[in-house]
């Protein structure tokens, strides 16, 4: 373990692992970037260990972070234990020992000062390898309920960081005593949006500044459930608000047909995806309609946004529903579970558009759960676990 200090000329050697979804990948990336900003890019030697041909491999390549792959296996959970013994599960579980052996070789060769695991199946072999090689392991959990991989590693971790206080109660008592609530790291650029730039950046000629703005997103590929509900509610929506709808690249044509002929169709801005404009769009939005993944929740609460959350029913461990209910119970969002008809969506959005004061109260309650400094807090935990003083 390093006893070096920033400025000593010795770099912090960090292995980061986490992948499968953006909810695991982007908190890891944000933490690496935060450490680089704090210690200087040459002051952090980072190696990302993940699955081959994965999102994490692509992101690491785009961000010029060294990447190595190990074998991993996805465990497909089921309510019936007998279904857990499926051929696919048996095959993938057999890959875990291979992944552990590969990861142990990597950790022994690379000798990191600390290993950061942010979730996903790939973290299990890497985290176990860190424990076997006596390298300090930091586990970060993004959701209210702990994911299966992070629950497995929490018992061998040097430090456990969680995104919300209720997660502490789900940890064994011995671990709970040393766990810390850091929040979920949010991409720095999301916090720098400016509402006045959004309309210009989008080239949106039909925007009406006298009306509130609703931003609808179902993620990069869009959501059929959300898109269908919005299409049905669109005549009412554009009467009462400007609507930015990020629908996924494959859904534009069908949704464009839904808007055709509407008297106020200019107030409906349809796009397959957003790039750099997303921070400004979020700053402009008065109400957000979205899924309730951990990354989305972190951004909406850090920004303090009134939101109607439509959980993805198939999310692992039903985590999106738990996230949405957690905020709804505190009056910090509206949760719509199950079938979401255009009428249910309208009934959820209408009070927020009609009553600016109610919208403001919800936004402030959401902000109370936000941790815009989460990346700095998690970086503190990583540096401390590495033994840097």
Q: Which of 205, 243, 203, 201 is nearest to 226 (CA)?
A: 243
Average the pLDDT over 299-315 and give the result.
Answer: 93
pLDDT confidence tier of residue 87, bands split at 50, 70 and 90 = low
Per-residue pLDDT, 198: 97
Write down the pTM of the prediction: 0.86
pLDDT at residue 89, as a whole number:
56
Which neighbouring-strand residues pair with 269? 244
pLDDT of residue 83: 56
Q: Is the distance from CB of 144 to CB of 171 less than 8 angstroms?
A: no
**Measured between alpha carbons, how far is 323 from 319 in angstroms, rounded to an integer?**
6
pLDDT of residue 151: 86
Report which of 305, 281, 290, 285 is spatially closest to residue 203, judged by C-alpha positions. Answer: 281
**pLDDT of residue 171 exceeding 70:** yes
Angstrom distance (rounded) from CA 190 to CA 288: 14
Q: 31 near 379, Cβ under 8 Å?
A: yes
Sheet with 66-69, strands from edge to edge, namely: 66-69, 44-50, 12-17, 114-117, 137-141, 159-162, 180-181
The pLDDT score that the predictor gives to residue 4 is 44
Higher pLDDT: 333 or 86? It is 333
Q: What is the mean pLDDT of residues 161-189?
A: 91
Q: Which residue has the higher pLDDT, 32 or 145?
A: 32
**Alpha-carbon distance 198 to 361, whole Å?**
24
Distance CA 316, CA 40 (A): 36
Count, residues in the chain: 389
DSSP state of 11: P
What pLDDT shows up at residue 172?
A: 87
Kindly report, residue by residue over 197-231, the tens digit of the pLDDT. Answer: 999 999 999 999 999 999 999 887 778 999 999 99
pLDDT tens digits, residue range 244-264? 999 998 889 889 988 888 889
8-state DSSP, 290: E
Q: What is the C-alpha to C-alpha distance for residues 15 and 104, in angstroms, rounded to an integer?
A: 12
- What's the CA angle centered on 158, arms 157 and 161, to 5 degrees? 75
pLDDT value of position 73:
67
pLDDT tops 70 at residue 3: no
**Predicted confidence (pLDDT) at residue 57 exceeds the cutoff of 70:** yes
Maximum Cα–Cα distance for the chain, whole Å?
68
The domains found in the chain, sorted by start residue, are 12-185+372-386 (3.40.50.2000), 188-369 (3.40.50.2000)
Least confident of 98-102, 109-113, 164-168, 315-319: 315-319
DSSP string, 222-289: --HHHHHHHHHHHHHHHHH-EEEEE--GGGHHHHHHHHTT-TTGGGEEEES--STTHHHHHHH-SEEE
Helix pair angle (374-386, 22-39), 10° resolution: 70
- Rounded to 10 deg, the angle between the 95-110 and 123-132 helix axes is 50
Q: pLDDT-derived band of residue 92, with 50, 70 and 90 as boundaries?
A: low
Buried b / exposed e over 346-358, threshold 16 CB at 10 Å, is bebbeebbeeeee
Residue 203: its pLDDT value, please? 96
Which H or E element spans position 374?
helix 374-386
């Amino acid at each position: 373990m390093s006893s070096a200090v920033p400025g000593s000329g010795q770099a912090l050697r960090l292995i980061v692992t986490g992948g499968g979804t953006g909810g695991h990948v982007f908190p890891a990336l944000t933490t690496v970037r935060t450490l680089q900003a704090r210690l200087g890019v040459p002051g952090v030697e980072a190696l990302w260990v993940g699955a081959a041909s994965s999102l994490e491999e692509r992101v690491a390549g785009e961000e010029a972070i060294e990447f190595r792959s190990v074998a991993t296996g996805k465990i497909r959970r089921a309510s019936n234990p007998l279904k857990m013994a499926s051929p696919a599960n048996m095959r993938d579980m057999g890959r875990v020992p291979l992944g552990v052996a590969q990861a142990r070789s990597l950790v022994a060769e690379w000798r990191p000062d600390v290993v950061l695991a942010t979730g996903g199946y790939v973290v299990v072999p890497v985290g176990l390898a860190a424990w076997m090689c006596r390298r300090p392991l930091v586990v970060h959990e993004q959701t209210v309920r702990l994911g299966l991989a992070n629950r497995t590693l929490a018992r061998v971790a040097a430090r456990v960081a969680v995104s919300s206080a209720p997660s502490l109660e789900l940890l064994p008592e011995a671990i709970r005593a040393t766990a810390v609530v850091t929040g979920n790291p949010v991409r720095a650029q999301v916090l720098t949006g400016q509402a006045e730039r959004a309309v210009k950046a989008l080239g949106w000629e039909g925007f009406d500044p006298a009306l509130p703005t609703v931003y609808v997103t179902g993620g990069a590929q869009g959501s059929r459930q959300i898109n269908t509900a919005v299409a049905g509610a669109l005549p009412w929506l554009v009467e009462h608000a400007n609507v930015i709808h990020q629908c996924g690249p494959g859904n534009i044509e069908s949704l464009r047909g839904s808007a055709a002929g509407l008297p106020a169709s200019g107030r409906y801005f349809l796009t397959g995806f957003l790039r750099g404009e997303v921070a400004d769009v979020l700053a402009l939005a008065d109400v957000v309609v979205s899924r309730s993944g951990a990354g989305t929740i972190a951004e909406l609460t850090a920004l303090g946004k009134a939101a109607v959350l439509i959980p993805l029913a198939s999310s692992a461990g039903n985590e999106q529903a738990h996230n949405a209910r957690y905020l709804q119970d505190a009056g910090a969002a509206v949760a719509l579970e199950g079938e979401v008809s255009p009428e249910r969506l309208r009934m959820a959005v209408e009070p927020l558009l009609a009553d600016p004061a109610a919208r403001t109260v919800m936004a402030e309650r959401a902000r109370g759960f936000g941790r815009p400094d989460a990346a700095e807090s998690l970086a503190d935990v990583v540096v401390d676990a590495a033994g840097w003083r």
